[in-house]
């Protein structure tokens, strides 16, 4: 048999069937794409057949910026796989995004974070997700308020104290990793899952499972949610491990005589099943881990590079220690006695540094889905968000707007000191805690965790920013531009700490 003949046979037997299958799939997929209605925002020309606008995943900041600039109203439409997406922009866009009760938060996040199973197209399925989310919010508000924060405060402080005591008198911290683990444990305490917070084996296991689920998110999961990719299998396996861990904890609690408080116990006592409990805990853990450890790491990085603000924050912590302490007490003794109300009111400079770090780094996307069954008008335009379309808004647009925040790239906490807080005058100008119909439910928990961490660190140690190899570094690193939620640096950093001399 000659070579030409082999090649010809291969073409006929493999290549053509493959090509035809590919074309049929492509055609089928394109057919599934519903055309945008006439009154949808201008539809972008950008995007590949089948896959859609891939810059939404690979270069979201520039994609948003270019699309806003290229369209009449700044709002724009495009496809991702067969999902219709609308990008909203400007004040009217923000108003629609954050105020419309016809745009649902949970379905938006589930589809665009790639955690949604394929049955999304069924309307009953949306209703189920929406009612589950409403139940989650009710339970969260019921169990995570002032009483719970006060009850868990001594545990939170002790855990932070223990973590820094174990760190010794000097060393190098990988803040983004170390605070990630610490916040995981603190949040488990706040949720009343003490078994996990107190056991190194268990918190490592749940932390690893959380990470497996988190890192399995991918563009492929969004575009082809029905494909059993390795990422999908990883998600399922990690979810199953968490289910086992929680089932065991719930069984042990049922068998124990010891009375327990906290959100977990409330859910068990009110008859929630393991899936509901896991859903509650995972929702809170995701909302927390994706934000709190990253924000507090940035605050520490800025304080380590800005002596003026380090002095200001330290001065207010020292003032609180002097006000509430007695002679002979260590800073940690006094911090352990501070009440919730004192933690929440006595650190305005820290708050300003935190808000400025959030303005610069909570710059990613917020998501919604139009599950209302009809088109949703976009405020101030004649345009609509089509029925069943997904919607996204990039917080960067407003957080880096020079009209609202002059010299927007500069880290300047003065902007958030109450006497000159510009963001208060302009609606929807500071969105790092959400706004409108969906303000962040964990704001108080996150602020408390962050101020406790920073107060311990700053009252005990001098800090120096370093690169990943431990060499001193003068300036904070640039932030990555992925625009998922809160951004990490593009390069690894460490913070060198050395016990502060108290003379």
The single-letter DSSP state of residue 389 is -
Q: Is 82 annotated as a binding residue?
A: no
432 sits near ligand HEM (criterion: CB under 6 A): yes
303 burial via Cβ count (<10 Å: 0-12, 13-18, 19+): buried
Rule CB under 6 A: is residue 153 a binding residue for ligand HEM? no
Q: Which helix (H) or strand (E) holds 77?
A: strand 76-80
Provide, rounded to whole angstroms, the least separation between the CB of residue 279 and ligand HEM: 12
Shortest Cβ 503–ligand HEM spacing (Å): 35
**Counting contacts by CB under 6 A, is residue 438 touching ligand HEM?**
yes
Among 96, 245, 292, 459, binds ligand HEM (CB under 6 A): 292
**What is the rounded CA–CA span in Å between residue 25 and residue 211?**
33
Shortest distance, CB of residue 45 to ligand HEM, whole angstroms?
Answer: 28
Q: What secondary structure does DSSP assign to 343-368, as a single string?
A: HHHS-HHHHHHHHHHHHHHB-SEEEE
Instruction: For CA atoms 92, 94, 98, 101, give the dihedral sign.
Output: positive
Site map (CB under 6 A) of ligand HEM, residues 166-205, x = contact: ---------------------x------------------
Interaction between residue 284 and ligand HEM (CB under 6 A): yes
The pattern of x and - marking residues 89 through 108 that bind ligand HEM according to CB under 6 A reads: ----------------x---
Strands 83-87 and 170-173: unpaired
CB of 283 to ligand HEM, least distance (A): 6
Instruction: Report in angstroms the alpha-carbon separations of 77 from 43, 67, 70, 331.
Output: 4, 9, 12, 55
3-state secondary structure 236-302: HHHHHHHHHHHHHHHHHHHHCCCCCCHHHHHHHHCCCCHHHHHHHHHHHHHHHHCCHHHHHHHHHHH
By CB under 6 A, residue 143 contacts ligand HEM: no
Q: Does 441 bind ligand HEM (CB under 6 A)?
A: yes
Residues that bind ligand HEM (rule: CB under 6 A) add up to a total of 23
Question: Nearest-CB residue to ligand HEM?
Answer: 442
Tell me how far apart the alpha carbons of residues 154 and 172 are, in angstroms, rounded to a whole number: 27
| Mask for 203-222, x = binds ligand HEM (CB under 6 A) | --------------------
Those residues whose C-beta lies under 8 Å from the C-beta of residue 64, and which sit 6 or more positions away, are 87, 89, 394, 396, 397, 483
Nearest-angstrom CA–CA distance, 272 and 258: 20
Nearer to ligand HEM, 284 or 301 (CB): 284
Query: Does 137 participate in binding ligand HEM (rule CB under 6 A)?
Result: yes
Task: Please tell me whether residue 445 binds ligand HEM under the rule CB under 6 A.
Answer: yes
495 binds ligand HEM (CB under 6 A): no
Any contact of residue 291 with ligand HEM (CB under 6 A)? yes
Residue 75 as a binder of ligand HEM (CB under 6 A): the answer is no
Stated as kind and residue range, the H or E segment containing 377 is strand 376-377
Residue 149 binds ligand HEM (CB under 6 A): no
Distance from the Cα of residue 384 to its chain's centroid: 28
Residue ranges binding ligand HEM (CB under 6 A): 105, 137, 140, 187, 284, 287-288, 291-292, 295, 358, 362, 366, 432-434, 438, 440-442, 445-446, 486
Q: What residue numbers does the annotated binding site for heme cover?
A: 440
């Amino acid at each position: 048999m000659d070579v030409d003949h082999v090649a010809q046979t291969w073409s006929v037997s493999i290549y053509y069937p493959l090509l035809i299958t590919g074309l049929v799939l492509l055609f089928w997929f394109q057919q599934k794409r519903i055309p945008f209605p006439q009154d949808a925002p201008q539809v972008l020309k950008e995007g590949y057949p089948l896959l859609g606008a891939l810059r939404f995943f690979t270069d979201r900041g520039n994609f948003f910026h270019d699309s806003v600039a290229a369209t009449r109203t700044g709002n724009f439409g495009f496809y991702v796989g067969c999902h219709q997406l609308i990008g909203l922009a400007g004040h009217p866009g923000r108003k629609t995004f954050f105020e419309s009760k016809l745009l649902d938060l949970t379905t938006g996040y589930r589809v665009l974070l790639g955690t949604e199973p394929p049955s999304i197209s069924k309307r009953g399925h949306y209703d189920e997700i929406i009612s589950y989310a409403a139940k989650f919010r009710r339970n969260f508000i019921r169990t995570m308020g002032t009483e719970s924060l006060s009850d868990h405060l001594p545990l939170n402080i002790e855990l932070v104290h223990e973590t820094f005591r174990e760190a010794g008198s000097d060393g190098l911290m990988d803040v983004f990793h170390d605070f990630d683990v610490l916040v995981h444990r603190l949040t488990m305490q706040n949720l009343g899952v003490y078994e996990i917070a107190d056991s190194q084996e268990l918190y490592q296991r749940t932390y690893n499972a959380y990470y497996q689920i988190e890192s399995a998110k991918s563009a492929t999961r969004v575009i082809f949610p029905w494909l059993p990719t390795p990422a999908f299998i990883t998600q399922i396996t990690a979810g199953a491990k968490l289910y086992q861990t929680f089932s065991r904890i719930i069984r042990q609690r049922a068998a124990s005589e010891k009375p327990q408080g906290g959100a977990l116990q409330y859910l068990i006592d009110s008859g929630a099943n393991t899936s509901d409990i896991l859903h509650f805990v995972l929702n809170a853990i995701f909302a927390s881990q994706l934000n709190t450890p990253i924000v507090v790491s940035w605050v520490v990085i800025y304080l380590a590079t800005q002596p003026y603000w380090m002095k200001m924050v330290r001065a207010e912590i020292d003032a609180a220690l002097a006000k509430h302490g007695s002679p002979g007490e260590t800073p940690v003794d006094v911090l352990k006695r501070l009440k919730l109300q004192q933690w929440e009111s006595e650190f305005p400079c820290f708050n300003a540094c935190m808000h400025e770090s959030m303005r610069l780094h909570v710059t990613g996307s917020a998501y919604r889905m139009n599950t209302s069954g009809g088109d949703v008008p976009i405020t101030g335009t004649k345009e609509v968000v089509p029925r069943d379309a997904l919607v996204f808004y990039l917080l960067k647009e407003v957080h880096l707007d020079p009209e609202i925040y002059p010299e927007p790239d500069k880290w300047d906490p003065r902007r958030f000191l109450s006497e000159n807080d510009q963001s208060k005058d302009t609606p929807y100008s500071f969105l790092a805690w959400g706004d409108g119909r969906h303000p962040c439910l964990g704001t108080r928990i996150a602020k408390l965790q962050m101020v406790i961490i920073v107060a311990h660190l700053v009252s005990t140690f001098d800090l120096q920013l370093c690169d990943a190899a431990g060499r001193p570094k003068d300036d904070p690193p640039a932030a990555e531009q992925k625009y998922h939620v809160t951004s990490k640096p593009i390069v690894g950093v460490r913070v060198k700490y050395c016990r502060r001399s108290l003379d």
